[in-house]
Homo-oligomer: A and B are copies of this chain.
């Protein structure tokens, strides 16, 4: 449909230079173009010896040769006068660089463009930092001048890779699998108790919209509506105050399908990621590995294991069944008590005293637990406060069971399964950090380990009220078919048709098959969760109006892309992120709004008083 045609006054009809002032981008000229007259537009990266202007656009750099003849004096003067980051248009002829002057490190390094004409669009002031990849900038400076920070080649690459990824995802969902892209509202009703939902005052006194955390209700309603396959790259909102590397608004790849089971959804997601995965990041293999929640907790102590490295949790309870060591025996004597360990290969050799102390500190401060450290010396003897307490056979069993070798480090903890597992799961990661700080390569960021975690419990005891159950994920998740009968007898034993997608130890998605029968949903809400079902009456009514079996998933796009590009923060894959305090530093949002302007929304500010009280009380 579209063709390239190039002539003296041509306009390109496709490609990145179509309909533009330029004929080519700064990154595309090669020896093939020698002799062509080209027009480039871009930013002055730098001037060299009054001889060259290095011109940059999103695609790369080209060397512009400044003519030195007297007849080109004006042109030379204009070019030599340019400040860095000024914006120009240059027309000239592509030449082979003189032999020996090629730059192999530069894709356009074989050629240069002899300038014949220049137009200066804009002269740049002196900038707060240089646009060079090696120039380090503080995070706050980057945020304040985001439009400059985005000029860096890695931010350009991140934004473009994200755009291309999303495009491929859309092609897969829409064109290959018949999904319908449906936009759902972001001005919605507040979820009762939805403490993390931003409110939006309306012009009706006391009435507020809220910005939803996900399109969960809408996507289920779309299935009831017969839309069959829905997806949306959905903007979601979560007000969590200041949490590191969280954003108040974020993006989900949100999808839902009718007449499908858990396997179907998982296959679609595997296909989606395989299809859209950037070629430069290497192919990914499907199906992904699957692990039950119980296996994940047992082996890794977390529900989102990083399976790029081993160091699994090892149960030593049997080893110490008849131990004399008091605290071990005591732990094992309680129901659900255990002794477990993690073996850190080379840990005894590599960990400094400070490293060991920090690991123990974490156990104490974050988990309120004591940790026993056992270092295996080069000669195979142990260094540990436990050493004297352990019998020869226990010691042997310990080394056998953990597979600890000379130079390894064992972290041992005793207590209830519910504390020991998360403790060791967390320390496993901390030890991986320490090993990497000592040069051990453990978790290659360019290796991608996808993992499904399945068979989560459907309900968990409430933290502050353990005899009462709450949803492990949300109240719409269906039970495993073989556990359905337990809903009516032993709901705490029910496993849900929920699946989490984990990539390199980060949860990048979660979804479930939903309850599609009104009676079952009502039972869960009313009898198990003891919630007021009238608050979800529209959903219950919908399920009662011919709801198909359905399920779906939401993938965290920001997180996914950040892992894909190896970014240390999701801020590096978002064009205009908020600071960790939720501020837009460039424009100063959020900002003060006059009481006058708030009047039409029937609200007023409750200024905190010295005593910390609310506005009116303090007046």
Given contacts A87-B548, A229-B16, A548-B41, is CB(A122)–CB(B222) below 8 Å?
no
Contact of A235 among B189, B205, B217, B235 (CB under 8 A): B235
Is the pair B199, A200 in contact by a Cβ cutoff of 8 Å? yes
A199 to chain B, nearest CB (A): 6
Chain B: which residue is nearest A264 at the CB level? B19
Among A164, A251, A265, A601, max chain B CB count under 10 A is at A601
Cα A589 to Cα B268 with chains together (Å) = 34
Contact of A205 (CB < 8 Å), options: B183, B221, B605: B605
Establish whether residues B207 and A177, one from each chain, have CB atoms under 8 Å apart when the complex forms: no
| C-alpha gap A283/B228 in the complex (Å) | 29
User: Per-residue 0/1 for A155-180: is the Cβ within 8 Å of any B Cβ (1 yes, 0 no)?
Assistant: 01001101110110010001111101
**Interface presence of A148 (CB below 8 A):** yes
Q: A94-102, A484-492, A606-614: which one contacts chain B?
A: A606-614
**Interface-centre pick from A21, A87, A186, A517 (highest chain B CB count, 10 A):** A87
Which residues of chain A in 250-298 are interfacial with respect to chain B, using CB atoms and an 8 Å cutoff? 251, 257-261, 263-265, 267-268, 275
CB distance from A286 to the nearest CB of B (A): 12
Q: Are A181 and B167 in contact (CB under 8 A)?
A: yes
Q: Interface stretch among A46-54, A337-345, A576-584? A: A576-584
A427 on the interface (CB 8 Å rule)? Answer: no
Among residues of B, the one whose C-beta sits closest to the C-beta of A261 is: B21
Residues of B within 8 A of A599 (CB): 606, 614
Q: Closest residue to A581 on the B side, CB-wise?
A: B204
In the complex, what distance in Å separates the CA atom of A1 from the CA atom of B604?
Answer: 59
Q: What residues of chain B lie closer than 8 Å to A516, measured between beta carbons?
A: 121-122
Find chain B residues with CB under 8 A from A81 CB.
none
Q: Is A124 touching B576 in the complex (CB atoms < 8 A)?
A: no
Complex alpha-carbon distance, A56 and B218, angstroms: 22
Contacts A20-B260, A227-B58, A545-B148 given; does A180 touch B159 at CB 8 Å: yes
A86 within 8 A of partner (CB)? yes
**Residue A104 lies at the interface, judged by CB distance under 8 Å to chain B:** no
Give CA–CA (A450, B279) in the complex, Å: 41
Q: A199-218 interface mask toward B, CB cutoff 8 Å, 1 = contact, 0 = none?
A: 11111111111110000011
Which B residues lie within 8 Å of A593 (CB)? 190, 199, 206-208, 210
Instruction: Answer whether residue A367 sits at the interface, using C-beta atoms and an 8 A cutoff.
Output: no
CA–CA, A180 to B167, complex, Å?
Answer: 10
| CB–CB B189/A584 < 8 A | yes
Chain B residues contacting A249 (CB-CB under 8 Å) are 185-187
Mark contacts of A584-599 with chain B using CB atoms, 8 A cut-off: 1 yes-contact digit, 0 otherwise: 1011111111000111
Contact pick for A241, options B203, B517, B576, B605, CB 8 Å: B203
Complex CA gap A106/B236 in Å reads 42
Residue of B nearest to A18 (CB): B177
Report yes or no: A546 in contact with B602, Cβ–Cβ below 8 A. Answer: no
* B189 in contact with A2 (CB, 8 Å): no
A71 CB, nearest partner CB in chain B, Å: 28
Contact across chains for B184 and A590 when beta carbons are under 8 A apart: no
A578 interface neighbour in B163, B185, B604, Cβ under 8 Å = B185
A354 within 8 A of B: no
Residue with the greatest number of chain B CB neighbours at <10 A, chosen from A258, A517, A608:
A258
Q: Which residues of B contact A607 (CB under 8 A)?
A: 205-206, 602
Q: Which B residues lie within 8 Å of A260 (CB)?
A: 19-21
Range class of the A interface residue count: 35 or more
Q: Does A538 contact B (CB under 8 A)?
A: yes
Given contacts A57-B228, A122-B517, contact A178 B268 (CB under 8 A): no
Q: Which of A14-67 contact B (CB under 8 A)?
A: 14-16, 18-22, 41, 43, 56-58
Contact across chains for A538 and B186 when beta carbons are under 8 A apart: no
Kindly name the residue among A149, A217, A221, A264 whose own CB sees the greatest number of chain B CB atoms within 10 A.
A221
| A107 nearest CB across to chain B (Å) | 17
In the complex, whether A198 has a CB less than 8 A from a CB of chain B is yes
When A576-B185, A603-B606 are in contact, do A147 and B225 touch as well, CB less than 8 Å? yes
Query: A110 an interface residue at 8 Å Cβ cutoff?
Result: no
A198 to chain B, nearest CB (A): 5
Q: Closest chain B residue to A221 by CB distance?
A: B147
Q: Report the minimal beta-carbon distance from A223 to chain B, rounded to whole angstroms.
A: 9
**Least Cβ–Cβ distance between A102 and chain B, in angstroms:** 26
Q: Are A87 and B203 in contact (CB under 8 A)?
A: no
Complex CA distance for A85 and B584, rounded to whole angstroms: 49
Contacts of A125 in B (CB 8 A): 544-545
Q: A174-B164, A208-B591 are in contact. Are A222 and B150 (CB under 8 A)?
A: yes
- B175 lies within 8 A of A207 (CB): no
Would you call A616 an interface residue if the criterion is a C-beta within 8 Å of the partner chain's C-beta atoms?
yes
Nearest B-chain residue to A591, judged by Cβ? B189
A183 to B162, CA, bound (A): 10
**Assuming the A-B contacts A221-B147, A616-B616, are A163 and B182 also in contact, with contact meaning beta carbons closer than 8 angstroms in the complex?**
yes
Partner of A124, one of B89, B151, B263, B544: B544
Q: A516: nearest residue on chain B (CB-CB)?
A: B122
A259 x B20 contact (CB < 8 A): yes
A127 at interface (Cβ–Cβ under 8 A)? yes
Within 8 Å of chain B (Cβ to Cβ): is A547? yes
Alpha-carbon distance A180/B146, docked complex (angstroms): 17
Interface pairs (27), CB distance under 8 Å: A2-B176, A16-B177, A18-B178, A19-B257, A19-B264, A20-B258, A22-B259, A56-B226, A87-B546, A125-B545, A146-B225, A147-B225, A148-B545, A150-B222, A150-B226, A163-B174, A163-B180, A164-B174, A167-B174, A186-B249, A189-B584, A203-B241, A217-B587, A218-B576, A538-B586, A598-B603, A602-B605
A127-B546, A203-B582 given. 6 additional CB < 8 A pairs? A19-B257, A156-B227, A182-B575, A183-B574, A210-B589, A602-B606
- A-B pairs, 4 with minimum CB distance: A16-B178, A150-B225, A189-B589, A124-B546
